[in-house]
Structure 1
Amino acid sequence: MTRHAEVALAAAAAMEPGGARAVARCDLLSRWPFSDTRDHLFRPFLGPGHEATCEITTSWMQEAGMTVSLDPAGNILGRYEGLTPGAPALLVGSHVDSVKDAGSYDGMLGVMLGVELVDAFHRAGRRLPFALEVIGFGDEEGSRFPSYMLGSRSVAGVLPPDALAVSDRGGVSLVNALSDWGVDPDRFADAYRAPGEVAAYLEAHIEQAPSLEEAGLPLGVVSSIAAQARYYFTVEGMAAHAGTAMHKRRDALTASAAIVLAIEEIAARGPVDLVATVGWLSTGENSATNIVSGAVTFSLDLRAALRETRDRAASEIFAAAAAICAERRVGHAVEERHQLAGAVCDQMLNEALSGAVRDVAGYEPPLIVSQAGHDAMNIAAIAPVSMLFIRCAGGISHNPAESVLDDDVELALAAMIRFADELAQNPRFRSP
């Protein structure tokens, strides 16, 4: 263990168990060496911050009574056996990676709450009819490689065949990065969990929207996760001198701008759950202030509660882009990078989770459609899933301003413990 991790571990050891400790641990993990950078949080897949985070999380999991390993896809996994060794597991967790200049709680809070959940049963000397497993998915954000949710897609067995055939912006291939990290890329897909190994999946997450805050409520239950698609648009014009007459230009940047505005207009027509984001645009290395842009690439992230709504909007956007490019005499191409069908959370699990929130918080939690993507949407391919949303100040996420209240997180942990107890009484979750 590094000296930095030893110091952090010693500081964490003095904290009282519970939701506040989960928050404090997230705060600790938002700083170097658990981040690749010293001035803000950036913890990409397979970086030094990821390695340090897995190292200290291993210690916390072991203290909570778990046996710990890295699965073949680089996900950290802790297991607390049930009454019957080898029983199916209630899998609890989220992701440990982050976007650049991130907040402390997106993803990581769900992992730390999973550790606290197991710790509570371990300190009470209790075993359940099922095992408890806590997972920290290594890649959810895709902030290093042009990938998305590699960790949970590997566990769910829904990786596309060419998922590992990518490189980061520095030219490092994912295959080489895995090998350098001690993960065999040829065994990456072996992280798959067959149906029956996972009895259910629970993910706690900050809401990433302000609805709970606006309602004055600490917790909500997710009804479904929006269907998503990501595309890259390439617009090809003709690079030219800035003195070129306006009517002679084939400007890739102005054409791209028109497409971006068309995307905004189409998404704004609704329904309200339809959202479209152009989060990245590049004019290339040869761009300059005195050159008419010859080529532009930009991203499109498209989401809706229903796949049909998303796909209908995509068709309208593609048609608008084609018309704009024809009018402006530029070429274009669209590449689909990712497509996720979304997921509907399990009704029985959601009823149990809502009941747990009622018991500990004293109100009926709202059911919320998550516009943000989560690892739960992939795990739904192998097990029933449920998600607990935790109030986040202003709904701000993917931002250093992320903020949660200790009291809200304490309630979340209490609800998770109650939820596990409820499942332990359900014959559906008792081992033969």
Structure 2
Amino acid sequence: MVMPPPGGARAVARCDELGRGRFSEEPDMLFRAFLTPAHAAALERLAGWMAEAGMSVRLDGAANLIGRYEGQTPGAPCLLTGSHIDSVRDGGNYDGPLGIMLGIETVAALHAAGERPPFAIEVIAFGDEEGSRFPASMICSRAAAGSLPADATDGVVDRDGLTLDAALQAFPKPPGVPAPILGVAGLGRAGYRPGTVLAFLEAHIEQGPVLEAEGLALGTVTGIAAQLRFRAVVSGRAGHAGTTAMGLRADALAGAAEMVLAVERIATDDSSDLVATVGRLSVAPGAVNVVPGRVEFSVDVRSGEVARRDAGAARIGEALHAIAAARGLGLTWEQVQDLPASPCDPQLMALLDAAIADLGLPVRRLVSGAGHDAMVMAGLAPMAMLFIRCAGGISHNPAEKVDPADVELALQAMLGFVRRFGDVPRA
């Protein structure tokens, strides 16, 4: 593959390179989950690109890859930027990786120009944002932010029954990259020390249609919607599909199907920004001639308002329990994640607005309905996000597409942000 010269087009091409071959766990789609061989291959490639851009590279205790570009004073606090390198199953090439590539291109441009800001810049590739392998998401950014509870990973296993601890210990480190011994015991040591991070900036495709509808390439994010995630387990009674009469069945899947429709109905009837999604469902025993005895599914509830989100989740929980009782089924309803609404820092938003305006582009502010590592990192340092137009607003889909010209504008906006950030007075 012939790589374009440094800049936005190269960032796009590098995302495309990581969208196939050994960088995916599946031959006919992109699926790069946390601590898989595809994840390891992607980090090896990223480490090379970071080094080429003039950065020193390391791996932290959560398997986050971090490139550091020293400022005028070695060891100075850093402006942290980046995104996640993992993907959903059958995902697109740009959700996450584009933010990492733009961070690398920003440093590469500064390095080529011989510029050293009065602070360091670190580019981070978080290993897990999507939660595609283990039940909870954002394990890596929570570890980096120092907000991962000590018991958050207790008993956490993937679909194959492999524990997070075992997966971390078996994960191959990028050759030549300094790294600690990995394991859940090291997650608590992955956090940045207080005062070492000045701010966090994440560039990301919008994952929505607003910018495209308004003919805009870039937007400044004002905040990220609040999220709740639940794990529902419906318990019925497995039985022979040919000999168990319909009236005598305790069909866990039929009950779960009614529950899924209830989730959809409750969110729709709210007539607001409340959204609720069942994105994962597993059926046991999973045989064509057996009435399902157990179903497990996820429920993701989001709103820009925490109170609305919580009220919607409560109505969903009540409805699911009522359905289970009416059908004579058991139900376990467990909250597995609570991410509050996360506003972006006003001063950083103003810097992004100014950097965008300097390019002759209209300034547009918009909220993010999707969750991002930035919402976790806001607990560590002031946070900002730059949105980039994506075709049709499509994301979590192989049809994801960005215009390299838009990505070049995003790179120039990030460089403008970095230079303006250097002029911000600091204590």
TM > 0.5 fold call: yes
Taking the aligned partners of 2:108 and 2:41, their CA distance within structure 1 comes to 21
Residue equivalent to 1:250: 250
Mapped pair 1:153 → 2:173: no
Mapped pair 1:396 → 2:394: yes
Displacement of 1:244 = 4.4
Describe the superposition over 1:25-75 as per-residue Cα deviations: whole angstroms up to 9, x where unpaired.
111111212223332212111222211211121111111111111112111
Displacement of 1:271 = 4.9
Distance 1:292 1:223, change over 3 A: same
Residue equivalent to 1:373: 371
Displacement of 1:255 = 2.0
Question: Mean Cα displacement is larger for which, 248-257 or 146-155?
Answer: 248-257
Match of 1:89 among 68, 72, 78: 78
Alignment of 1:331-370 (within 5 A): 331-365=330-364, 367-370=365-368
Match of 2:409 among 408, 411, 431: 411
Task: Confirm or deny: 8 A CA contact 1:361 1:411 kept in the other structure.
Answer: no
Question: Mean Cα displacement is larger for which, 101-110 or 272-281?
Answer: 272-281
SS of residue paired to 1:283: strand
Mapped pair 1:110 → 2:109: no
Mapped pair 1:201 → 2:200: yes
Taking the aligned partners of 2:358 and 2:115, their CA distance within structure 1 comes to 21
Task: Confirm or deny: 8 A CA contact 2:63 2:182 kept in the other structure.
Answer: no
Identity between Structure 1 and Structure 2 (%): 53
Taking the aligned partners of 1:129 and 1:224, their CA distance within structure 2 comes to 28
Residue equivalent to 2:278: 278
Displacement of 1:333 = 1.4
Displacement of 1:85 = 1.4
Describe the superposition over 1:229-280 as per-residue Cα deviations: whole angstroms up to 9, x where unpaired.
1111112223344454544433322222222111111111235321100112
Describe the superposition over 1:84-140 as per-residue Cα deviations: whole angstroms up to 9, x where unpaired.
111111101001111122211010000000000011111110111111110001111
Residue equivalent to 1:313: 312
Residue equivalent to 1:3: none
Match of 2:115 among 120, 126, 132: 126
Residue equivalent to 2:298: 299
Residue equivalent to 1:62: 51
Taking the aligned partners of 1:125 and 1:357, their CA distance within structure 2 comes to 23
Distance 1:47 1:288, change over 3 A: closer
SS of residue paired to 1:333: strand
Give unmatched runs, 5+ long, in structure 1: 1-7
Residue equivalent to 1:49: 38
Displacement of 1:363 = 0.9
SS of residue paired to 2:23: coil
SS of residue paired to 1:238: coil
SS of residue paired to 1:87: coil
Matching residue's letter, 2:367: V
SS of residue paired to 1:427: coil
Residue equivalent to 1:27: 16
Match of 1:179 among 169, 181, 184: 169
SS of residue paired to 1:118: helix
Taking the aligned partners of 1:44 and 1:410, their CA distance within structure 2 comes to 28
Question: Mean Cα displacement is larger for which, 42-51 or 381-390?
Answer: 42-51
Describe the superposition over 1:169-217 as per-residue Cα deviations: whole angstroms up to 9, x where unpaired.
2222221121122542122221101331110000000111111111111
Task: Confirm or deny: 8 A CA contact 2:150 2:188 kept in the other structure.
Answer: no
Give unmatched runs, 5+ long, in structure 2: 174-180
Displacement of 1:346 = 0.4
Question: Mean Cα displacement is larger for which, 414-423 or 30-39?
Answer: 30-39
Taking the aligned partners of 1:67 and 1:290, their CA distance within structure 2 comes to 57
Describe the superposition over 1:136-167 as per-residue Cα deviations: whole angstroms up to 9, x where unpaired.
01111121222311110001111122333322
CA RMSD in angstroms, aligned pairs only: 1.7
Residue equivalent to 1:98: 87
SS of residue paired to 1:33: helix
Taking the aligned partners of 2:149 and 2:137, their CA distance within structure 1 comes to 11
Residue equivalent to 1:18: 7
Distance 1:282 1:49, change over 3 A: closer
Distance 1:295 1:167, change over 3 A: closer
SS of residue paired to 1:326: helix
Task: Confirm or deny: 8 A CA contact 1:282 1:297 kept in the other structure.
Answer: yes
Alignment of 1:219-234 (within 5 A): 219-234=218-233
Residue equivalent to 1:73: 62
Matching residue's letter, 2:272: V
Displacement of 1:222 = 1.0
* Aligned length, in residue pairs: 416
Residue equivalent to 2:214: 215
Displacement of 1:312 = 0.6
Taking the aligned partners of 2:153 and 2:327, their CA distance within structure 1 comes to 37
Task: Confirm or deny: 8 A CA contact 1:194 1:382 kept in the other structure.
Answer: no
Matching residue's letter, 1:145: F
Matching residue's letter, 1:93: G
